[in-house]
Amino acid sequence: MSSWEYQNPVRKNVLVVRPPSIVRIKGYLLIVKDPKSGEEEKVPLVTLNAVILHGKSIALTVGVIDKLIEQRIPVLVVTRDNIGFIDSPMTSATPNVRWAQYYYLNDPARRLILARGFVWSKLKGYASVLRYLARHSAVVEHQQVLRGSADEIEDLLGSLDRLSSVGEVLRLEAQGSKAAWSALRQTLLREYEALGFTGRNPRGQDPVNQSVNYLHAILYNLAFRALVSAGLDPHLGALHSEGPGRKPLVYDFSEQFKPIALRALAHAAKTARLRVHRNGLLTRRTINTITSRLQKLLHTGNPTPASENYRAAWRLRRSMLENTIFKPYTYTAR
């Protein structure tokens, strides 16, 4: 049915709905019913930060979507093969902001600098998470592997400013990400090799890759809301390619926060067994574990990464309006 993760304060809760649930609205209550058991779950809309529909066989009406949009509650759709979201965030868009963005990203030099910034932020955060995991590991071999990969990533970052094209930046990002995931595969995620995990693959059907896809879907939604609230166009970015239905700036921007997903996954893999059903969807326990861990990390610290998500979007807006270099958010694991 659904998975309810309660957290304070208000508006930090995520409701995960799984097949074969039936979802309806009554006033300002979202009602999720399990047609097999007849059990109903009533959730006040005021407490919701997001609704995640995890799977295809979920029944709901346009009226439900309409009410969620009215209350500005994003809806994420996560299936075995695809990720999407429906949202209607507040926006401060004015023509000059969008024109400034188009002008900024049409400049190859500015575009390259922005791409470097997003990749630097992601890989620097990955290195920080790996060092954090090494410090908290009781296995000497694991400590060595994790620190070695962090060192490898730091070495790659040393050459980032010398890269002269976005394509080269993307290749360096792939090298750094591969190093991080290889380290986890050899240490904390070793047991998942038997379940098909051989490294990061967005199309992978194993529990690890499905869990990462799920966590990234949440980050994409947060990035989308922040960017649109700052008046930016999510369909034009610096790093990822454009295409029908794609939101390159969302994918670019969320790179800053993917180290948090990496840490959430590593913690979840240690405290629970990540699993998928035979239908390819994550189990309820897995969803509860990874969602609660990500939410806790996003809302811990001063300032929190969740608030930094919006601050970074407004810094990016200001950089584009003033034609200056954007300073990305960098996650440090403590």
What would the pLDDT profile of 298-329 be if each residue is shown by its tens digit? 999 999 999 999 999 999 999 999 999 999 99
Q: Give the alpha-carbon dihedral of 202, 204, 205, 209, to 10 degrees.
A: -60
The reported pLDDT for the residue numbered 5 is 40
Question: Are 2-86 and 95-322 equal in CATH topology?
Answer: no
Average confidence (pLDDT) over 40-49: 86
Residue in 5, 4, 8 with CA at minimum distance from that of residue 299: 8
Q: In the CATH hierarchy, which top-level class contains the domain 2-86?
A: alpha beta
Residue 281 scores a pLDDT above 50: yes
Helix axes 140-157 and 166-186, enclosed angle (nearest 10): 180
In our burial notation (b when 16+ CB lie closer than 10 A, e otherwise), range 280-290 reads ebbbbebbbbb
Between the two ends of the chain, the Cα-to-Cα distance in Å is 35
218: helix, strand or coil: helix
Q: Which two tokens stand for residue 208?
A: 């690890």
- Output the average pLDDT for the chain: 90
Share of the chain above pLDDT 90, in %: 69
Per-residue pLDDT averaged across 244-271, rounded? 94
CA distance 298 to 263: 11
Report the distance separating Cα 195 and Cα 32, nearest Å. 32
Per-residue pLDDT at 6:
34
Residue-wise pLDDT tens digits, 175-231 = 999 999 999 999 999 999 999 999 999 999 999 999 999 999 999 989 998 998 899
How far apart CA 113 and CA 319 sit, in angstroms, is 12
Confidence at residue 83, expressed as pLDDT on a 0 to 100 scale: 80
> Domain-by-domain residue ranges, the chain?
2-86, 95-322
Whole-angstrom CA distances from 241 to 111, 145, 333 are 12, 33, 30
Under DSSP, is residue 66 helix (H, G, I), strand (E, B) or coil?
A: helix
Ramachandran quadrant class, 40 (left: phi over 0; alpha: psi -120 to 50; beta: rest)? beta
Please provide the CATH number assigned to the domain covering 95-322: 1.20.120.920
Rounded (5°) CA angle 218-223-229: 130
pLDDT of residue 88: 67
The pLDDT score that the predictor gives to residue 73 is 85
88 by Cβ neighbours in 10 Å (0-12 / 13-18 / 19+) ranks as: middle
pLDDT confidence tier of residue 94, bands split at 50, 70 and 90: confident
